[in-house]
Chain A
Amino acid sequence: MLKDITIGQYIARDSIIHALDARIKIMITTILIIALFTIDTFMGFGLFTAFVLGVILLSKISIKKVLKGLKPILILVLFTLFIHIFLTNGGEVLWSWKFISIESEGVYIGFFMVSRIFILILFTSLLTLTTSPLQLTDGIEYILSPLKRFGVPASELSMMMTIALRFIPTLLEEADKIMKAQQARGADFESGNLIQRAKSLIPLLVPLFISAFRRADDLALAMESRCYRGGEGRTRLHELEYKYYDFVALGMIIILAAAVSFY
């Protein structure tokens, strides 16, 4: 159940998308996300969706796998949709009952918001699916590094991200294990109303946090014993290196983004 979560997962493939420089991919994702919030036509969304599908194909990762990553956010999406449909006023009244009414503006905006969320999540999960966590954090560090002058600890931040990503699967596995152990003692995670279910999760969180802290302690020792002392003077196994196709990709994206935003 918890294992369905694909956020932060990386799937190694031999594809052009994987080969792109992490910094370029981060920049591209940022540009696309900004562009995403400027569009408000069906045409624009159609174009974006087609583009995302194209990228998925190029990345050689199965569409099913990518879409599976959307599952955990489904509730959030439905919630957004409801809020907009029922609470936004304006346009024609499509349906009404007592004080509730659905108006066309709400449906439009709801649809756009939902599409945005979907595409946004797809973009970011594509970024993590095709970029190894280390390259990703290196990329972020590199992009943030001009801010070091203003006291932003870019290297430390990126190290924290590396570690967080490393431990997501371990913690999920652990959560699974603890859940089973408590079920074996009669705990019930499946029935009852929402509040009861949320309450049954509390005994799950305590051992999970404790073990996370214990891990953090152990890990800090292990890192220190391997001479970790912050970003100062560290070198890299994989130095990031731009190639010609990185710039080609970036150029294409800027044109695409400009095109959809201005029409």
Chain B
Amino acid sequence: MLIELINVSHVYQDENNVKALKNINLEINKGEFIGIVGHTGSGKSTLVQLFNGLIIPSSGTVKINGKNITNEKSNLKETRRHVGLVFQYPEHQLFEETVYQDIAFGPKNLGLNKDEIQARVNEVMELVGLDYDEFKARSPFNLSGGQQRKVAIAGVLALKPDVLVLDEPSAGLDPQGRKQLAELLQYLYQELEMTIILISHRMEEIAELSSRVIVMHQGEIVIDDNPVEVFSKEQKLHKLSLDLPQITEILHRLDERGLKVNTSLFSVSEASAEIIKALRSK
């Protein structure tokens, strides 16, 4: 078991004392691609910060690789290198003078030597699709939004985490940027066999990429299943004010109106082919 939460609750200690997580039990295995969805304020960001000890829960146990991280504060640094976390708008957190230095920040903190650092920076820049020689010496602040996002993600990948957690990584990207990001995640998951945890408001993204979907509502996990199952529960999702992927919505609507189609398809091309087939056989 990679990540295990047992009876975890969390309350933010301030004037409102919001109960952000309520009695969560969750197991995440190596090699899963988990999509987390939920209404705003449902506790998604709080949940994923438990995975690397940035938030220590008010009660309950968090185990990473079998090790309890909730009471022994000492080894959080070790945990954080296993679980890499990319926050929302990560490009707002760039700070070094060059792209190279920014990506090297993590490896440096791990205490690697110069050659190792350079090898890693080189490797992750290639992964995210930034040409090493072209970009290494450039200031991260003079890049386009999409390129900055890549630098920020490379900075986390440079820790060589086993688990990569991304909190709304595609927010604000244009269609091309979103496509490149999806391809990167797919590559990390399939070729490098990383465990990926993705928070997103775009159901299309979640449906197409993940192998397992977790739906949060008011601090609780209300659905935890594979995407086909989750997105067949149209009524329930609507009650949680969540949408279906638009293409799936179309299939559902056609199905209701008597055009017999397979409703668990998430890509436009597949769904269109399905509709064509159904129309032809009518």
Are A and B in direct contact (Cβ within 8 Å)? yes
Identify the A interface with B (CB < 8 A): 3, 177-178, 180-188, 203-204, 206-207, 210-211
In the complex, which residues of chain A have a beta carbon less than 8 angstroms from the beta carbon of B94? 207
Q: Tell me how far the C-beta of B51 lies from the nearest C-beta in chain A, rounded to whole angstroms.
A: 10
Bound: A188/B73 CA distance, A: 13
Bound: A210/B139 CA distance, A: 13
Q: Flag if B159 contacts A186 (CB, 8 Å).
A: yes
Q: Flag if B80 contacts A184 (CB, 8 Å).
A: yes
Q: Flag if B92 contacts A180 (CB, 8 Å).
A: no
**In the complex, which residue of chain B has the Cβ closest to the Cβ of A11?**
B15
Q: Tell me how far the C-beta of B77 lies from the nearest C-beta in chain A, rounded to whole angstroms.
A: 6
Q: Flag if A178 contacts B93 (CB, 8 Å).
A: yes
Bound: A210/B94 CA distance, A: 10
The 7 closest A-B pairs by CB, nearest first: A186-B109, A206-B95, A185-B106, A184-B85, A181-B93, A207-B95, A203-B95
CB < 8 Å neighbour of A210 from B54, B77, B141? B141
In the complex, which residues of chain B have a beta carbon less than 8 angstroms from the beta carbon of A185? 80, 105-106, 109, 155-156, 159
Q: Flag if B54 contacts A180 (CB, 8 Å).
A: yes
Contact with A along B103-115 (1 / 0, CB 8 A): 0011001100000
Given the known interface contacts A177-B87, A188-B109, A203-B105, the answer about A183 and B54 at a Cβ–Cβ threshold of 8 Å is yes
Bound: A262/B90 CA distance, A: 60
What 13 additional pairs, Cβ within 8 angstroms, besides A180-B87, A185-B109, A211-B92? A181-B85, A181-B90, A182-B93, A183-B54, A185-B80, A185-B105, A186-B80, A186-B109, A186-B159, A188-B109, A203-B95, A203-B105, A207-B94
Q: Summarize A's interface: helix, strand, loop or mixed.
A: helix
Bound: A180/B155 CA distance, A: 14
In the complex, which residues of chain B have a beta carbon less than 8 angstroms from the beta carbon of A206? 95-96
Bound: A204/B106 CA distance, A: 14
Bound: A178/B155 CA distance, A: 14
Q: Of residues B90, B93, B94, which shows the largest number of chain A Cβ atoms within 10 Å of its Cβ? A: B93
Q: Tell me how far the C-beta of B224 lies from the nearest C-beta in chain A, rounded to whole angstroms.
A: 25
A-B contact pairs, 28 of them (CB 8 A): A180-B49, A181-B87, A181-B90, A183-B80, A184-B52, A184-B54, A184-B80, A185-B80, A185-B105, A185-B109, A185-B155, A185-B156, A185-B159, A186-B77, A186-B105, A186-B109, A186-B159, A187-B105, A188-B77, A188-B109, A203-B105, A204-B95, A206-B95, A207-B92, A207-B93, A207-B95, A210-B95, A211-B92
Q: Flag if B110 contacts A186 (CB, 8 Å).
A: yes
